[in-house]
Amino acid sequence: MFDRPAGALSPPYGAGAHAFVGARLLPVSGPPIDDGVLVVRDGRIEAVGPRASVAVPADAERHDVAGLTIIPGLVDTHSHVGGGWGADESAPIQPETRQLDAIDVRDAGFQRAQAGGLTTINIMSGSGHLMSGQTLYVKNRDGNGIDDLCYRWPDGTPMGGMKMANGTNSQRDPPFPGTRGKSAALVRERLVAAQEYGRKLAAAGDDASKRPDRDLGLEALLEVLDGKRIVQHHTHRHDDVLTVLRLRDEFGFRVVLHHVSEAARVADEIAAAGVGVSLILIDAPGGKLEAADYDARGAAELEARGVPLAIHTDDWITDSRLFLRDGALAVRAGLSESGALAALTLHGARLLDLADRVGSLEPGKDADFVLLSGPPFSVWTQVLQTWAGGELVFDRSREADRLWAEGGWGAGRSRTAAICCMLGPGEDR
């Protein structure tokens, strides 16, 4: 499930060499390194190790960071930054819709995420549909258009999964289903149609006259059935989780279970299925009906069974700026500290097929890393700098950047409506 190679980013990497000297390094893929050295060059990690064994290149800009902590850039496997939405009210299953066509790269959410240390984000549409469309994996850098940010498969197309959901969110008036049974039936029906579409394409071969009419939705579902596009499935209740696994067994698609409020109740079944989980950690009751029996101990139960485990923000459900705090909540409920850091970094990268690129401090990987004032899960620790692809995208010492880190709800909103009633006293019209 986790060995598919990722392609290259479309934009160039940050140029030049930098050496960060004296910090405590937490590579995630290996043990902590006290008094370490991290060398990056042209957007890639060149060397990482203790000061005694890693030389600082003569041409590198030296950063003395003694007393600080450096961790890999954080990976958010489930977010809604960018203000984009996919499917509409016309049907419950719309796999043809793409987040690629919906994201505003100037949305303030990207800067908030940078202030929280997030460098890789899986951006998806909402959970009000059985399938709300194709998600998008982005490198959290500043860009002029979405094509400047997206990861790409080897064939050059943007990387992403398929967002699916079950439970109460997608139960509405027709044409949406009104029951859990009907929800599963509609999904099965559409996947069977995709299988038949694939058989017709295979039978036609290179004979264009025999090919079926092009269907963008079925094309996307063939990518799911072929294993290229991972299903990222919103599911909370224990019985809904088992329905997802039942569909996975029938159709053979790859799946990551998202949210999984009742993971502790079906931890054995999840482990036996060999699928990954992307959990949300919350610290207050309320929210969705099927999350009423949310149990924060699910993270520890899954870790104990060896389940690949990531944690996500579902931003705005939890704020990207507080992503490290989500890991701390899991630790409080029994998850190991090393497991929590991996759940925010390397495990998330694996669940997005990006572990060869990001998620740990290793030579050859993207220069995605975060400078912290202290241990990752201390309430006192601040994100000081975030680097993505060798570029400094957030620096707390810059006055403009502190807005993203310290401002309240709505801080740094992208724009205000350009109409007279929205302007303050003395503002230009």
pLDDT above 80: residue 24? yes
How confident is the model at residue 133, as a pLDDT? Answer: 97
293 — pLDDT class (breaks 50, 70, 90): confident
Return the C-alpha torsion angle 169, 112, 327, 355, nearest 10. Answer: 90
Q: What is the pLDDT of residue 409?
A: 66
Alpha-carbon dihedral 211, 217, 220, 226, rounded to 10 degrees: -60
Cis peptide before 316 (omega within 30 of 0): yes
Structure-token match 């997802």, residue found = 244
- The pLDDT value given to residue 414: 59
Q: Check residue 111 and give left, alpha or beta (phi > 0: left; psi -120 to 50: alpha).
A: alpha
**278 touches 263 (CB < 8 A):** no
pLDDT value, residue 415: 54
Positive or negative CA dihedral for 406, 410, 416, 421?
negative
DSSP string, 321-371: GGHHHHHHHHHHTT--HHHHHHHTTHHHHHHTT-TTTSSS--TTSB--EEE
Q: What is the CA radius of gyration of the chain?
A: 22
**For position 423, what pLDDT does the model report?**
44
Please report the pLDDT score of residue 288 as a whole number. Answer: 72
Whether residue 175 is preceded by a cis peptide bond, meaning omega within 30 degrees of 0, is yes
Residue 232 sits at φ, ψ, to 5 deg, of -110, 105
Q: Which of 177, 121, 136 is nearest to 323 (CA)?
A: 121
Task: Write out pLDDT tens, residues 299-355.
Answer: 999 999 999 999 999 998 999 999 999 999 999 999 999 999 999 999 999 999 999
CA dist 348 and 345 (Å) reads 5
Compute the average pLDDT of residues 84-99.
94
pLDDT at 22 over 70: yes
- Candidates 73, 70, 61; CA nearest to 34 is 70
Average pLDDT over residues 400-408: 84
Give residue 366's pLDDT: 97
The answer to whether 338 and 301 are in contact (CB under 8 A) is no
- Which alpha helices (DSSP H) does 81-148 contain, by range? 108-115
Segments of 44-180 assigned E as strands: 44-50, 61-64, 69-72, 74-79, 118-123, 131-134, 136-139, 162-165
Contacts of 3 (CB under 8 A, 6+ apart): none
Which listed CATH number (2.20.25, 3.20.20, 3.30.1180, 3.40.50) goes with 17-184+277-282+310-406? 3.20.20
- Determine the Cα angle at 200 with ends 194 and 201, to 5°: 90
Residue pLDDT, tens place only, 347-395: 999 999 999 999 999 999 999 999 999 999 999 999 999 999 999 999 9
- Residue 425 pLDDT > 60, yes or no? no
Residue 33 clears pLDDT 50, i.e. is over it: yes
More confident residue, 427 or 209: 209
> Can you give the pLDDT at residue 407?
79
Higher-scoring residue by pLDDT: 418, 414: 414
Query: Band of the pLDDT at 419, cuts 50, 70, 90?
Result: very low
**Mean pLDDT across the chain:** 91
